[in-house]
Amino acid sequence: MRFFPSYGYGTPPRRAQQRVGTGGYTEYKGSSADGGGGVKIGVIDNAYDSYDAYGYISFDTGHSSQVYNGFLAGTTDEVTSPSNLGQYGQVMMGTPIFHNDNIRAYTWGREYDNSQSHGGRSFWASGVLSNTTNGREVGTYWSRYATGTTYINSYADTGHTWYDAPATGSYTELMSLNSSGNLTVLGSLSKGSGSFDIPHPVTEGKRLRHSFIEGPYADLMLLSILFAIVIPVQRPVSFLHRVAELLLLWELYLCENPGLRLIC
C-alpha cells in the first residue's frame, strides 16, 4: 500500500514536469499477450503535412492489418488559395487505417482568426476524406460565420438517405436524394409555393420560369396564354384552331406526353 502525505490547507508543491522537444513522445504500450495496442503522446513536425509542429495523441490498435495509427491532434495553419481565408486553429481526429487506399474517416473542428474573409467562422465536420482534388468522399459541415449566419452542408457522390429510428425492428427509408437531384419521399410532401426554372428549349440564352399549383392532374396549364387570346369569344373557329396548334407546339417542348384541353 502506498502512502500519500497530506498537504493540509496550503498550496501543494509543483509537480515535476518532463519536457521533450519536437519529435519527442511518451508511449504506453500493451503487451503482445494483450493485443499490443498502445497510446503515444508527443509533439510532431510531420514532413507530409503543412502544419507547424503540433501536439498529438496516437492510438495503436495492435492489429496486424493496421497500416497507420489513429490520432487526435491540435494544429494551426493558414488558407491562402484559392481564396485568402486567413489563419485558423483546429482539432482533428482520424481513425486507424487498415487499407492503404488514402481514404480515412475524420472529424474535426476549426475556427478562423479575424485577419481575413473567414474571420470568426467556426465549423465542425465529420466525413471520409481522400487525396482527391476536392478531398471529400462524403461529409457534413456545421458552420457559423461571424455575421451570425449558420449552414449545414452535406457532400456525397452517390446520394443522401434518411431513415426512421424505431425502437425495434427494421429501419424504413423515409426520403432519398440521388446525385442527379431527384428527391423521393415516402409520405406526402407539403409546400408553401413552387416553381421551376429551366433553360429555354428554343431561344438560346433565355430561361423559362413557371410557378406550379396543387391539382388533381399532373398537367402543365398555360392559362395565361389562353386567357390572353381566347377571351374574345367572337373570334372564328379557325382562330381557335390556330391557338390550339401554337399551344400544342409549345407543349411539345415542355412535356413528354403533350395534350390540349381548351376551356372557353
Residue 146, in any domain of the structure: yes
The band of 247, judged by pLDDT with boundaries at 50, 70 and 90, is low
Question: Which is more confidently placed, 252 or 208?
Answer: 208
C-alpha 51/C-alpha 77 separation (Å) is 6
Residue 201, in any domain of the structure: no
Average pLDDT of the chain, as a whole number: 80
Per-residue pLDDT, 71 = 94
Write out the residue range of the structural domain in which residue 107 sits: 25-157
Residue 115, in any domain of the structure: yes
249 has a pLDDT exceeding 50 = yes
87 has a pLDDT exceeding 70 = yes
Per-residue pLDDT, 246 = 62
Angle, alpha carbons 154-158-159 (nearest 5°): 55
Q: What is the pLDDT of residues 26-40, one digit of tens each?
A: 888 888 887 889 999
Number of independent structural domains in the chain: 1
Residue 198, in any domain of the structure: no
The band of 226, judged by pLDDT with boundaries at 50, 70 and 90, is very low
Per-residue pLDDT, 124 = 94
Question: Which is more confidently placed, 243 or 25?
Answer: 25
Quote the percentage of the chain above a pLDDT of 70: 73
Residue 221, in any domain of the structure: no
Contact 248, 195 (CB under 8 A): no
225 has a pLDDT exceeding 50 = no
Per-residue pLDDT, 36 = 86
Q: What is the pLDDT of residues 169-217, one digit of tens each?
A: 999 999 999 999 999 999 988 877 778 788 877 778 888 787 776 666 6
Residue 144, in any domain of the structure: yes
167 has a pLDDT exceeding 50 = yes
The band of 231, judged by pLDDT with boundaries at 50, 70 and 90, is very low
224 has a pLDDT exceeding 50 = no
Residue 162, in any domain of the structure: no
Locate cell 407546339: which residue? 249
Side-chain-side CA neighbours of 227 within 13 Å: the count stands at 4
Per-residue pLDDT, 159 = 93
pTM of the model: 0.65
Average pLDDT over residues 107-119: 85
Q: Among 56-60, 139-143, 253-257, whose mean pLDDT is lowest?
A: 253-257
